[in-house]
Amino acid sequence: MKVAVVGATGMVGEVMLKVLAERNFPITELLVVASERSVGKILTYKNKEYTVISLADAVAAKPDIAIFSAGGGTSLEWAPKFAEVGTTVIDNSSAWRMDPTKKLVVPEINAHELTKDDKIIANPNCSTIQMVLALSPLHKQYKMKRVVVSTYQSVSGTGVKAVKQLENEIAGIEGEMAYPYPIGRNALPHCDVFEDNGYTKEEMKLAREPQKIFNDKSFSVTATAVRIPTSGGHSESVNVEFENDFDLAEVRKLLSETPGVIVQDNPATNSYPMPIFAHDKDEVFVGRLRRDETQPNTLNMWIVADNLRKGAATNAIQIGEYLVANHLV
């Protein structure tokens, strides 16, 4: 199994290598790939050193799987080139997510739809992944009508420059700014760029991607995405209206039986999900489960996950694991 990690020197790329090692992904040959300026750098995987190669050299090597985390422009240009030589691409950018010819996959929900013909597979947005994983069993049982989500997203979702900005502000150092304003002691209602409708790209990803993942347009999602001064882990306040009524005890049971979900929901012991506890974990944590008392069949919940792991690297690698286990590569 020849595996290429494209964007290996970036924040998510580093986590991908870490998760591949942790999960003992069946690699016989590893290619670490990055942009021209990083070619020749040395990266370590399982105590062995690897030299970063170019995208062109990686295509020429014809890997079985290429896991991309190198930005939308790179994915649009290079994913088809890998696909042409028979490589299955798992892409972490937004480039292919809403392409009707490409599948948008959260393995626990819709990996069964994948076939050998799927040569470019899209990994959903980090905020989408954690939300749909928690909503999936509830949608099956009660049928969602409308979801209102507000996110509390860490600076690591923006990248290294944003993490550095927060660290500099905490240390009282003036430095390069990833955001138009300070992020320390602040909350920015501005994730990604604004679109013509007044929503940001991040908010529209949350609105559009769940319908594609569930292959269901019978429900709608509206979102407000906010950047907060945490270094890692995204949190979401989710209000979901169902067509059918629910029992809270059954909701807890359904969630606790869902692979990849951990319920932390006991106000008496101050037990609830927080980014500090989700750090470096692959699960999605759900708590603060309570009825919305202002309208029928409506649930409030709080969802937290490590955005670099389940929100990006781990989800992509789980797609790869499914492909390998089902002989689709």
Q: How confident is the model at residue 188 (pLDDT cuts 50, 70, 90)?
A: very high
For residue 266, give the nearest of 284, 241, 248 by alpha carbon.
248
Q: Is 268 exposed, middle or buried (0-12, 13-18, 19+ CB in 10 A)?
A: exposed
Cβ atoms of 260 and 137 closer than 8 Å = no
- What residue type is 113 in one-letter code? E
Q: How confident is the model at residue 219 (pLDDT cuts 50, 70, 90)?
A: very high
Q: Tell me: the pLDDT tens digits for 112-149?
A: 999 999 999 999 999 999 999 999 999 999 999 999 99
Residue identified by tokens 């696909």 is: 83
How many whole angstroms separate alpha carbon 262 and alpha carbon 321? 21
Q: Give the CA angle between residues 98, 1, 308 to the nearest 5°.
A: 45
127-307, what's its fold? Dihydrodipicolinate Reductase; domain 2 (3.30.360)
pLDDT, residue 284, reads: 98
Q: How confident is the model at residue 249 (pLDDT cuts 50, 70, 90)?
A: very high
Which is more confidently placed, 36 or 274?
274
Annotated catalytic residue 112: no
Residues contacting 44, CB < 8 A, separation 6+: 50
Catalytic residue (choose from 112, 190, 191, 234): 234
pLDDT, residue 165, reads: 98
Query: What residues are paired with 241 via a beta bridge?
Result: 146, 298
DSSP, res 313 = I
Q: Tell me: the pLDDT tens digits for 164-182?
A: 999 999 999 999 999 999 9
pLDDT, residue 329, reads: 94
For residue 66, give the nearest of 319, 326, 327 by alpha carbon.
319
Instruction: Write the DSSP assignment of 234-274 as a string of letters.
Output: EEEEEEEEESS---HHHHHHHHHTSTTEEE--BGGGTB---
pLDDT, residue 220, reads: 98
How many whole angstroms separate alpha carbon 257 and alpha carbon 309? 21
Q: How confident is the model at residue 42 (pLDDT cuts 50, 70, 90)?
A: very high
pLDDT, residue 201, reads: 97
Q: Tell me: the pLDDT tens digits for 43-54?
A: 999 999 999 999
* Strands 144-153 and 234-242, sheet pairing: antiparallel
Q: Check for a shared fold between 2-123+312-325 and 127-307.
A: no
Q: Is the pTM of this model over 0.75?
A: yes
pLDDT, residue 318, reads: 98
pLDDT, the chain, mean? 97
The residues spanned by each domain of the chain are: 2-123+312-325, 127-307
pLDDT, residue 13, reads: 95
Annotated catalytic residue 191: no
Q: Superfamily for 2-123+312-325?
A: NAD(P)-binding Rossmann-like Domain (3.40.50.720)
Q: Tell me: the pLDDT tens digits for 291-328?
A: 999 999 999 999 999 999 999 999 999 999 999 999 99
Catalytic residue (choose from 126, 139, 190, 279): 126
